[in-house]
Amino acid sequence: MSKFDRYMLSQLMMLFGFFALILVSVYWVNRAVSLFDQLISDGQSAWVFLEFTALTLPNVIRLVLPVAAFVAAVYVTNRLAGESELVVMQATGFSPFRLARPVVYFGLIVTAMVAILSHVLVPVSRAQLAERRGEIAENVISRFLTEGTFLHPADGITFYIREVTPVGELQDIFLTDARDPARRTIYTAERALLVKSETGPKLVMFEGMAQTLTLANQSLAVTRFADFAYDLGGLIGEGSLHVPSVEELPTPLLLTADDALAASLRTTRSEMLLEGHERIARPFLALVAALIGFSTLLTGGFSRFGLWRQIGLAVALLVVVQFLANGATSLVAQSPAAWPAIYLPVLAGLGLAAVSLWSAGRVRRPGRAAPANAGAVAT
């Protein structure tokens, strides 16, 4: 690696780290605010909030790194062009393709980072996040231990407790179950406990009464009980019966899945193939972003006023590549046989970068020939 390659690569990596840190921070703060409201309102601790935000970071970083690579490539290229460093290197015989070599190194480094995130860290973090969400869903105590408030944990369910003792006993319970259109039941009890069982959590009420109103004939049945167990399993979702989503599965399993496996996971083979091939193709968009940012600005040559027109063109080209990626995703989601389309945006992006580099080389040829022609006329 030449001195120029090392110099430009160091500049790219330094600014890439800076922009990635800023973008991750902004994205993370936006996600963290909504997550904080959700968890704290459910009665979770600050430690659970920190754990959840840490588990969401790998996916946030995966989304941000290609954008940071593009911004770093544009910033470094614009600065080198403004300080005439690129002009000097081209004057020494460096072609646009030769100048792009450190950008290729940089893009491949970022591609490797995104690949590690896509294939390893993101699936693991999402699986862990789903597991923790299931555990929190089963911990219904945090949902029901709100004193003096009418709660609605599910459609047709109203729950109220007057007080929670220091040992976790619920005092003066009121529970309405109107999920059955044919009848409504009201449970009242002096005290209750939330307990776990093999079939799910239950609310055990003591010294209470159940009033059931049958709507068809408007008859009311009253039952007094010393103790009664109310099943809360229907209020907390599937809990331990969690079926992993395609985002949680390893890449080899996604690529070799058949219809039977997809059905057992409550998804389709198209979705599994789409996720698997996207994990392979998606990291190379970081290389595409870096090369488009560099090559498009290189067509502008030297300018003390900056390369704003070329920067706008680079952003437009990146948007085109993203549109192609979205279209390929829609196509593969409908037809598994069309999975090669996932790689077309990467190839199209590399082709656009190559055309820009070729165009930058052609733009400079008349400029080099002009002094010789002028000298011949003067002679």
Say which residue the tokens 């392979």 belong to: 280
Least confident stretch, 26-30, 145-149, 209-213, 355-359: 145-149
**pLDDT tens digit string along 81-94?**
877 777 778 778 78
Q: What string of DSSP letters covers 100-136?
A: THHHHHHHHHHHHHHHHIIIIIHHHHHHHHHHHHHHH
**pLDDT tens digit string along 18-43?**
999 999 988 888 877 777 766 665 55
Say which residue the tokens 């704003």 belong to: 308
- For 42, half-sphere exposure in the C-beta direction (CA atoms, 13 angstrom radius) is 18
Annotated domain spans of the chain? 3-137+243-366, 143-235
Please say whether the beta carbons of 100 and 9 come within 8 A: no
How far apart are the C-alpha atoms of 152 and 175, rounded to whole Å? 10
Residue 108: band (very low, low, confident or very high) from pLDDT cuts 50, 70, 90? very high
Q: Give the strand pairing for 219-231 and 183-195.
A: unpaired
How far apart are the C-alpha atoms of 135 and 202, rounded to whole Å? 15
How far apart are the C-alpha atoms of 309 and 121, rounded to whole Å? 38
Q: Which residues contact 226 (CB under 8 A, 6 or more apart)?
A: 206, 207
- Supply the pTM of this predicted model: 0.71
